[in-house]
């Protein structure tokens, strides 16, 4: 076997053995780039929900709660994204998860109190559920990697 053939075979073998890990890294990288934008879009949707609420006292009290918790998810994730350590990343991502759980609670109350229709809340509630699942997965994976 000539040197060029061996070199090509070795490169092909290295590509194949690293292919799975590079795909995971690429998927994680794309995912991490999308999450700041996705959490910002979620915050903007929360702001729209707040603006649709009636001006009654109960609607405004619940609205301010959902506004505070829903808009802080992205801010906490941005802090996590720039964390100086895995422990700091886990802590800030945990803050995002707690805010998502709280936001889900306030959205449920808005729906069950009939302050907004189920239809108006459907998309934002779905996104809240999906983001919660994402953050649960992130935290689980990072905690497993710490061990």
pLDDT tens digits, one per residue of 94-108? 999 999 999 999 999
Q: In whole angstroms, give the CA distance from residue 121 to residue 136.
A: 22
pLDDT of residue 3: 57
Please, where are the H alpha helices in the chain? 3-52, 57-81, 86-112, 118-146
pTM of the predicted model, to two decimals? 0.77
Please identify which residue in the block is written with the tokens 């422990």.
87
Q: In whole angstroms, give the CA distance from residue 57 to residue 66.
A: 14
Q: In whole angstroms, give the CA distance from residue 49 to residue 110.
A: 10
Q: Look at residue 110 and tell me whether its pLDDT is greater than 70.
A: yes
Per CATH, is 3-146 categorized as 2.60.40.2550? no
């Amino acid at each position: 076997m000539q040197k060029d053939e061996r070199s090509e075979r070795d490169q092909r073998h290295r590509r194949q053995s690293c292919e799975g890990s590079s795909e995971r890294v690429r998927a994680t990288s794309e995912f991490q780039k999308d999450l700041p934008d996705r959490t910002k879009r979620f915050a903007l949707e929360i702001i729209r929900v707040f603006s649709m609420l009636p001006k009654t006292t109960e609607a405004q009290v619940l609205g301010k709660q959902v506004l505070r918790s829903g808009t802080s998810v992205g801010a906490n994730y941005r802090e996590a994204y720039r964390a100086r350590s895995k422990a700091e990343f886990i802590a800030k991502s945990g803050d995002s998860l707690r805010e998502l759980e709280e936001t889900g609670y306030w959205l449920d109350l808005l729906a069950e109190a009939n302050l907004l229709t189920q239809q108006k809340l459907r998309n934002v509630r779905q996104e809240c559920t999906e983001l919660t699942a994402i953050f649960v997965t992130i935290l689980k994976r990072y905690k497993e990697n710490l061990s």
